[in-house]
Amino acid sequence: MANVLRRAFSTPLGGMIRYEVLLHWRQRGLLVVLFTMILLGVLTVFSLSNSGLIQRIIDQLSMDVVSRSQTVIADGQTTIQTITQTPDTPKNPAYISTQAFSVTAWPIAYIMLLILVPMVAADAIARDRKYRVTDLLDSTPLSSALYLFGKILGLFAAEVGLLLVVMILYGGLWRVAVGAFDIPSYIALWLVSTLPMLFINPSLIVLLASGQNGRRSALLIGFAACFAMFFFLGIGLSHMRTVGTPALWDYVNPVHPLVFEYFGYAPVNVSLQSITIGDAWLSWLIGAGELALVAWAAWAWLNRRKANS
Amino acid sequence: MDTSSQLESLSDLLFRLTHDRELGRVLAWLIVALLSISVIVAIAQIAVSVWRKRWPLAWRRSLIALVIPGALTAVALVLLMLTRILTADLNLVQIVTVSAPLIMGIHAALILSLDDEPLIEVLLAAPRPFVWIMAERLIAMLATYSVITAIGTLAAALITGHTDTIGTVIAIWLPAAVLLTGIGLTFTLRTRQPALSLVVVGIVWGVMTFGGNVISILWPILWPLLLFPTLNSDGFALNRQLILLIGSGLILRAGYVLSDTEAILLNGAD
A-chain residues within 8 Å CB-CB of B72?
Answer: 224
- Determine the average pLDDT of the residues in B153-158: 80
A298 to chain B, closest Cα gap in Å: 22
Mark residue A76 as left, alpha or beta (left: phi above 0; alpha: psi -120 to 50; beta: remaining): left
CA distance B140 to chain A (A): 18
Distance of alpha carbon B220 from the chain centroid? 22
Contacts of A108 in chain B (CB under 8 A): none
Asked if B86's CB is within 8 angstroms of A119's CB, the reply is no
The confidence score (pLDDT) of residue B242 equals 94
A1 burial level (CB within 10 Å; 0-12, 13-18, 19+): exposed
What is the value of ipTM here, to two decimals? 0.75
Stretch B96-112: mean pLDDT: 87
pLDDT of residue B269: 46
- The three-class DSSP label of residue B34 is helix
Nearest CA in chain A to B85: A234
CB A59 within 8 A of CB B230: no
Interchain CB contact of B79 with A (< 8 Å) = yes
Q: pLDDT tens-digit profile of A264-291?
A: 887 777 666 678 888 889 999 999 999 9
* B83 to A234: CB separation less than 8 angstroms, yes or no: yes
H or E segment to which residue A83 belongs:
strand A77-85
Main-chain phi, psi angles of A63, to 5 degrees: -65, 140
Predicted local distance difference test score (pLDDT) of residue A189: 92
Q: Which residue in chain B has the smallest CA separation from A127?
A: B116
Residues in chain A where the model's pLDDT stays below 70: 5-9, 64-91, 243-244, 270-273
* Residue B270 pLDDT > 50: no
Find the helix or strand (DSSP H, E) in which A36 lies.
Answer: helix A29-51
Q: What does the pLDDT read at residue A76? A: 64
CB spacing of B195 vs A26 below 8 angstroms: no
Q: Cα separation of A17 and B105, whole Å?
A: 33
Contact residues on chain A for B112, CB-CB shorter than 8 A:
none
A219–B76 CB contact, under 8 Å: no
In angstroms, the separation between the Cα of residue B85 and the nearest Cα of chain A is 6
Under 8 Å between Cβ of A28 and A108: no
Residue A64 is predicted with a pLDDT of: 54
Q: Answer left, alpha or beta for residue B269, where phi above 0 means left and psi between -120 and 50 means alpha.
A: beta
For A237, which residue in chain B has the nearest alpha carbon? Answer: B85
Query: Mean pLDDT throughout B11-18?
Result: 80
Task: Give the span between the Cα atoms of A89 and A101, in whole angstroms.
Answer: 15
Which residues of chain B lie closer than 8 angstroms to A234, CB-CB? 83, 85-86
Backbone angles phi, psi at B233, to 5 degrees: -75, 170
Q: Which of A36, A47, A219 sits opposite B198 (nearest CB)?
A: A219
Predicted pLDDT of residue B177: 93
Chain B residues whose beta carbon lies within 8 Å of the beta carbon of residue A219:
110, 194-195, 198
Closest Cα in chain B, distance from residue A91 (Å): 33
Annotated domain spans of chain A: 2-64+91-308
* CB of A212 closer than 8 Å to CB of B68: no
**Residue pairs between chains A and B whose CB atoms are closer than 8 Å:** 75
If you ran DSSP here, which 8-state letter would residue B2 be given?
-
Encode pLDDT of B179-226 as tens digits: 999 999 999 988 888 888 888 898 899 888 888 887 888 788 888 888
Quote the pLDDT of residue A201.
Answer: 92
- Partners of residue A230 in chain B, C-beta under 8 Å: 86
pLDDT tens-digit readout, B224-255: 888 888 766 778 889 999 999 999 999 999 98
Query: Quick one: pLDDT at residue A87?
Result: 56
Question: In A, what residues contact B, Cβ < 8 A?
Answer: 26-29, 32-33, 36, 43, 47, 115-116, 119-123, 130, 214-216, 219-220, 222-224, 227, 230-231, 233-235, 238
For residues A293 and A289, what is the distance between their CA atoms, to the nearest angstrom? 6
Residue A202: closest CA among A214, A218, A178, A179: A218
Confidence (pLDDT) at B84: 63
The neighbour count for residue B91, using CB atoms within 10 Å, is 16
CA distance B146 to A259: 38
Strand, helix or coil at B88?
Answer: coil
